[in-house]
Amino acid sequence: NAGVTQTPKFQVLKTGQSMTLQCAQDMNHNSMYWYRQDPGMGLRLIYYSASEGTTDKGEVPNGYNVSRLNKREFSLRLESAAPSQTSVYFCASSESGYFSQPKETQYFGPGTRLLVL
């Protein structure tokens, strides 16, 4: 199993450009998440999808859109990139999102490093 995969690994954009970050998981998880991580700010939730067909805003959704394409894939789109969106983006997945079972937690992808000039 590959776990959670993300593409691309690195990306440089100019202000105003758009791009889509791709995420896929092969663990048959129901819930998927997008985070950004900035120095001194920790991991902040952008959007999440509790199950296929649903998406909800997290702590910092402005400037982003998401699509839960199917159970495996959850993409994050920047319509008009801004320098403030320079960050490391992590996708994660979990079995149900209830975290009530001892081994249920979130599994993270390797991240996408995005620089917006």
Nearer to other proteins, 17 or 88 (CB): 88
Rounded Cα distance between 34 and 24, Å, is 12
Q: Is 76 helix (H, G, I), strand (E, B) or coil?
A: strand
Rounded Cα distance between 69 and 65, Å, is 13
Q: Per CB under 8 A, which region of 11-19, 40-48, 67-75, 77-85 contacts other proteins?
A: 40-48
Which string of DSSP letters, residue by residue, matches 91-116? EEEESSS---STT---EE---EEEEE
73 scored as a contact of other proteins (CB under 8 A): no
Q: Per CB under 8 A, which region of 16-24, 62-70, 74-82, 92-100 contacts other proteins?
A: 92-100
Q: Per CB under 8 A, which region of 16-24, 44-52, 66-74, 79-87 contacts other proteins?
A: 44-52
Nearer to other proteins, 19 or 88 (CB): 88
